[in-house]
A and B are shown apart, each in its own frame.
Chain A
Amino acid sequence: MDLVLLLQRICDALFNSAIYSSLALALVIIFRSTGLLNFAQGEMATFTAYIAFVLLSGPQPRLTGGGLAGLVPGVPLPIPLAITGAVICGMAGGAVTERALIRPLGRAPDLALVNITIGLLLATNSLMAQWWGTGPRMFPAIFPSGAGQHFNILGARLRYSTVGVWAILLTVLVLLIVLLRHTRTGLAFRAVSISPSNAELVGVRVGPTLMYGWALASGFGALAACLSANSVLLEPNMMLRVLVYAFAAATLGGLDSPKGALVGGVIIGLSQTLIPAYVPFIGFELSVLPALLAMTAILLVRPAGLYGTKRIERV
């Protein structure tokens, strides 16, 4: 086996790992607090990537979709600002979704929650296709990603963009930890995640706290979409496959464990690059299959994943 090639593939895989970790974190934050798998997380994230795209391209009706042209600021924004704008819009969108669609349901059966998120997925997806077309769009790179722009590690190339994406992800993670450990809102969120009814009894306002959770999660989703839009090309179905990887990552790590999401994202990212490389039948396109099989196997054998809480049911 060519070791340099293997190292190279690992370096390449780390980029995807960061994206999957980020989206998996979004899924875990929501699952932990509401016990709901947000199937629309990917589409909501893609939508924010389109918002970043609109902010980047300035007032060009052809690009922005006719109805939105009036809302765009007069000048194209620089990339960091555009992405920040998109993340803020994403957080607002997440908060609104929780307030308008999830909270009114109360303690609904699984089926109702699946219906809401699937409805959101379908509606958002075709809304994007209608406004921006189904064709892929070029999204500018955030970090220099030209031919020579990489670190050399034992003969393998570690691209600046990979390092940059991880730097952003880790920074945001530190912020998240500070938020959860050292603020009252974070404390409230942790209380609600453990037990909504007990949190309510000690005076935590459960509804608004969950809204913060949704905003946080959608922020992570938006970040994942904006950071990956350059490499996978921006199109309405962009995050559909990524969502499977992220779900696989979240399941592997344990659906209620943020640490698990991070570790799971890294493992799934590595396997998504390495398995197709060494198993010819599974080409690039079919690399969703191992992720799906892994996810199914984990749910069958060890539903709690690596770090998740084991659920004990009384009959």
Chain B
Amino acid sequence: MRVDFGKLSRKGLLGAALIAAGLAVIPFTATTTGLRQSSQIVISVLAVLGVNVATGYGGMISLGHGVFVGVGAFATGYYVDGLSLPWLVAIALGALTAALSGALIGLPALRIKGIHLALVTLGLAIVFQPLSKRFPKITGGVSGTGIDAKFVSPSWWPSDTRMATAVYRYLFCILVVGIALWATWNLVNSRFGRGMRALRDNDTAAAIYGVDLVAARVQTFAISAGLAGLCGALQVVLVPFVSQEKYGPQESLVIYATAVIGGLGTIWGSVLGVIARTVVGAVGRAAAEVDGFGLIGEFLDLLDEAPFVFGVGLILLTFLFPRGLAGIGRRKQAAD
């Protein structure tokens, strides 16, 4: 695969500058609620990035990444409340727990491939809700549980009003997501990342060239689950409440759809996917406000439903731009 660094960085820099500018404006204009919602959008990049690492780089289709988000959230809540660990430790351990569960679930992926793996992970997404209800001590059972410990700003932070705390959380999330994006970028361009991609394209050839198939597959799945788990951990930072209701199968599928729509196999694609989801959400809400017009009005109401828009988007993009939004400007490569 030929990567044109000069062109990539110029376009990438422009995009990054635009996003940074957008993110910098938000704290000055939004309310605390708006700030929390913006933070939630920012951290959702992590879950999408997780799918991207497993599916886009590792070639293992995962329809169940909502599960790892859930594991990360439940685990973080438990560590910070049940074990009274400090927040930063709890977040790290939460992501680690999700990564371990990912490694465990990644084990079948050693033999189960392609569409069959998609089937198993879809089953996982469906089984997660009833399963998590079985561990009420950690998950709060059917109705969920509040987390008593709150993630507050440290003493050196200038103020401890609600707004200042919200800004602190917002910046913390951006920092973590930024680090995760940078680390993943380095990872996929490292020796390990090249092995991962070789594995995706032709595992026999990769094995002949010395890639350890077992280790590479399990590690890839663990890293991807860890990223999703980190998203779950940060969800607890923003809203100190965990509940199985947030982690239904549709949630997993929307994460998958976002990753595909953004573009698999590029880090930038995950960010684009989340931006697309946000824009579509805003447009959809506006469209749903329009009442009347009979059938047209009903159709406009549908645009407010993220699963509908993303389901249709997934189908359209598969036909029009198989490489996702990130692949629109790019020349078609021979490998596809």
Interface: B204 (CB within 8 A): yes
Interface: A39 (CB within 8 A): yes
B130 with A292: CB separation less than 8 A: no
1/0 per position for B248-286, CB-CB distance to A under 8 A? 011001101100100010000000000000000000000
Residues of A258-315 at the interface with B, using a CB-CB cut-off of 8 Å, are 281, 285-286, 288-289, 291-292, 295-296, 299-300, 303, 315
Interface: B9 (CB within 8 A): no
A295 with B120: CB separation less than 8 A: yes
Interface centre among B301, B307, B310 (most CB of A within 10 A): B307
Q: Which residues of B contact A113 (CB under 8 A)?
A: 115
Q: Which residues of A contact B315 (CB under 8 A)?
A: 101, 115-116, 119-120, 123
Known: A118-B257, A125-B250. A67 touches B63 (CB 8 A): no
Distance A39 CA – B253 CA, assembled complex (angstroms) = 11
Q: Which residues of B contact A123 (CB under 8 A)?
A: 307-308, 311-312, 315
B294 with A285: CB separation less than 8 A: no
A37 with B115: CB separation less than 8 A: yes
A115 with B108: CB separation less than 8 A: no
1/0 per position for A96-129, CB-CB distance to B under 8 A? 0000010011000011111110111111111101
| Minimum CB distance partner of B113 in chain A | A110
Interface: A204 (CB within 8 A): no
| Minimum CB distance partner of B105 in chain A | A296
Q: Which residues of B contact A295 (CB under 8 A)?
A: 119-120, 123
Interface: B114 (CB within 8 A): yes
B263 to chain A, nearest CB (A): 12
A300 with B112: CB separation less than 8 A: yes
A220 to chain B, nearest CB (A): 19
B120 with A288: CB separation less than 8 A: no
B311 with A124: CB separation less than 8 A: yes
CB contacts between A and B, total, < 8 Å? 142
Interface: B305 (CB within 8 A): yes
Candidates B108, B119, B310, B312; contact of A37 at CB < 8 Å: B119
Distance A67 CA – B298 CA, assembled complex (angstroms) = 7
Q: Which residues of A contact B264 (CB under 8 A)?
A: 111
Known: A121-B311, A126-B307. A67 touches B112 (CB 8 A): no
A126 with B308: CB separation less than 8 A: yes
Q: Which residues of A contact B312 (CB under 8 A)?
A: 119, 123
Residues of B154-198 at the interface with A, using a CB-CB cut-off of 8 Å, are none
Interface: B83 (CB within 8 A): no
Candidates B115, B295, B311; contact of A110 at CB < 8 Å: B115
Interface centre among A104, A111, A299, A300 (most CB of B within 10 A): A111
Contacting chain B: which of A85-93, A156-164, A189-197, A239-247? A239-247
B107 to chain A, nearest CB (A): 9
| Minimum CB distance partner of A248 in chain B | B123
Interface: B91 (CB within 8 A): no
Candidates A104, A110, A114, A296; contact of B319 at CB < 8 Å: A104
Interface: A66 (CB within 8 A): yes
Distance A300 CA – B256 CA, assembled complex (angstroms) = 24
1/0 per position for B294-317, CB-CB distance to A under 8 A? 110010011001011011111101
Candidates B119, B122, B311, B314; contact of A126 at CB < 8 Å: B311
Contact residues on A (Cβ < 8 Å of other chain), bracket: 35 or more
Chain A interface, >50% SS class: helix
| Minimum CB distance partner of A288 in chain B | B127
Interface: A36 (CB within 8 A): yes
Interface: B134 (CB within 8 A): yes
Candidates A126, A127, A130, A244; contact of B123 at CB < 8 Å: A244
Candidates A115, A125, A288; contact of B130 at CB < 8 Å: A288
Q: Which residues of B contact A240 (CB under 8 A)?
A: 126, 249
Interface: B131 (CB within 8 A): yes
Distance A286 CA – B124 CA, assembled complex (angstroms) = 12
Q: Which residues of A contact B319 (CB under 8 A)?
A: 104-105
Distance A121 CA – B256 CA, assembled complex (angstroms) = 13
B304 to chain A, nearest CB (A): 9
Q: Which residues of B contact A130 (CB under 8 A)?
A: 298, 301-302, 305, 308
Interface centre among A122, A123, A243, A295 (most CB of B within 10 A): A122
Distance A241 CA – B302 CA, assembled complex (angstroms) = 24
B118 with A39: CB separation less than 8 A: yes
Distance A250 CA – B304 CA, assembled complex (angstroms) = 36
Q: Which residues of B contact A289 (CB under 8 A)?
A: 127, 130-131
Interface: B322 (CB within 8 A): yes
Q: Which residues of B contact A241 (CB under 8 A)?
A: 126
Distance A273 CA – B24 CA, assembled complex (angstroms) = 56
Distance A285 CA – B264 CA, assembled complex (angstroms) = 35
Interface: B46 (CB within 8 A): no
Q: Which residues of A contact B322 (CB under 8 A)?
A: 112
- Given A119-B314, A281-B134; 8 other pairs, CB 8 A cutoff: A39-B118, A101-B315, A119-B313, A126-B305, A129-B305, A241-B126, A244-B122, A247-B119
A-B contact pairs, 12 of them (CB 8 A): A37-B116, A39-B63, A110-B61, A110-B114, A114-B61, A116-B315, A119-B257, A119-B313, A125-B311, A126-B308, A286-B133, A299-B119
| B interface residue numbers (CB < 8 A to A) | 55, 61, 63, 108, 111-112, 114-116, 118-120, 122-124, 126-127, 130-131, 133-134, 204, 249-250, 253-254, 256-257, 260, 264, 294-295, 298, 301-302, 305, 307-308, 310-315, 317-319, 322
8 smallest A-B Cβ distances: which pairs? A123-B311, A122-B311, A119-B314, A119-B315, A126-B308, A110-B114, A292-B123, A126-B307
